[in-house]
A and B are shown apart, each in its own frame.
Chain A
């Protein structure tokens, strides 16, 4: 169901109740979406035939799919990260051990900061300090 085809049908207002019931329902067909799909297809074909190559996948559709993908992982109350970031930051950390051995406040403070900066793989930690001695 697309947003532009969703309607709110007002039900008759009961005379002696305080709450007003509102029912959400979709129309039988997403006719609006279908029309826009056809227009989009026509435009893409026209542009392609005019010498402007078009991407094979619709970028708007792709971004919708990415938004809908459930990729957030909750690490602690109020702290959620993307799945790939979760793997990088906490993949080598025994979170269950720390959850058991830390207070909830400490666990939250711990996971909030460790690995919070992406950085780069060519860092040499032993040479960190050398950077100062210029």
Chain B
């Protein structure tokens, strides 16, 4: 496995796997990495690159939007406390005023797909699902990843040639690259 920093013009082998940081980063315009994320998504769509998502990506994206909505409504700083209990208590208010944010990722993926983007969901087969399950504890132990991040990396390793992320938790791959042909492409500010 290799780790490279993304720069404009970098050749990215397909298929690519996206985590939530890139997807959501391309939708939030005040975000420090917005320009890079949006340009990266634009390049993938323009080049009709095969894009892989997983339900972990979708789950994380929606969770981020819910958190963002809550912080917007209650004027909280980004490092303020946030957990499922807060979400449960504020869910009604979040949906009342910011339901469009919750739906934004689904709508983007739907529109891009309808316009011809090659977006697929992984794991694709039962065999690949089993392979992914086998890799998760390995990456948790060897690459020191959380379960969700280990799932991302395992899904990418089994289905893609490039894994695009802005999440610094994957920096460990640079120090301690596991076996495999996957290239982890990291977006930085």
Cβ A103 vs Cβ B20 within 8 A:
no
Q: Which listed residue (B32, B46, B67) contacts A125, Cβ 8 A? A: B32
**Shortest beta-carbon distance, A15 to chain B, in Å?**
57
Sorting the interface of chain B by its residue count into under 10, 10 to 19, 20 to 34 or 35 or more gives: 35 or more
Contacts of A129 in B (CB 8 A): 19-21, 60, 146, 148-149, 167, 169
Residue of A nearest to B37 (CB): A125
User: How far is it, in angstroms, between the C-alpha of A38 and the C-alpha of B67 when the chains are bound?
Assistant: 52
Cβ A128 vs Cβ B29 within 8 A:
no
Is A34 an interface residue when CB atoms closer than 8 A count as contact? no
Cβ B63 vs Cβ A132 within 8 A:
yes
User: How far is it, in angstroms, between the C-alpha of A69 and the C-alpha of B167 when the chains are bound?
Assistant: 42
Residue of B nearest to A91 (CB): B35
Cβ A114 vs Cβ B84 within 8 A:
no
- Majority SS at the chain B contact face: helix
Cβ B27 vs Cβ A117 within 8 A:
yes
Q: Which listed residue (B20, B68, B111, B187) contacts A117, Cβ 8 A? A: B68
Cβ B20 vs Cβ A128 within 8 A:
yes
Cβ B42 vs Cβ A93 within 8 A:
yes
Q: Which listed residue (B26, B30, B77, B167) contacts A128, Cβ 8 A? A: B167
Is A119 an interface residue when CB atoms closer than 8 A count as contact? yes
User: How far is it, in angstroms, between the C-alpha of A43 and the C-alpha of B34 when the chains are bound?
Assistant: 50
Once A102-B46, A113-B111 are accepted as A-B contacts, the answer to whether A125 and B31 lie under 8 Å apart by CB is yes
Cβ B78 vs Cβ A110 within 8 A:
no
Within residues 72 to 109 of chain A, which ones have a CB less than 8 A from any CB in chain B?
Answer: 88-89, 92-94, 97-98, 101-103, 105-106, 108-109
**Shortest beta-carbon distance, A104 to chain B, in Å?**
9
Is A115 an interface residue when CB atoms closer than 8 A count as contact? yes
25 A-B residue pairs with CB within 8 Å: A88-B29, A92-B35, A93-B39, A94-B39, A97-B46, A102-B46, A105-B114, A109-B111, A110-B41, A110-B45, A113-B107, A116-B27, A121-B32, A122-B77, A123-B78, A124-B78, A125-B33, A128-B20, A128-B24, A128-B60, A128-B64, A129-B60, A132-B60, A132-B148, A133-B148
Question: What 8 pairs across the A-B complex have the smallest Cβ distances?
Answer: A115-B29, A92-B35, A119-B28, A113-B108, A126-B168, A109-B115, A101-B46, A109-B111
Interface residues of A (CB under 8 A from B): 88-89, 92-94, 97-98, 101-103, 105-106, 108-110, 112-134
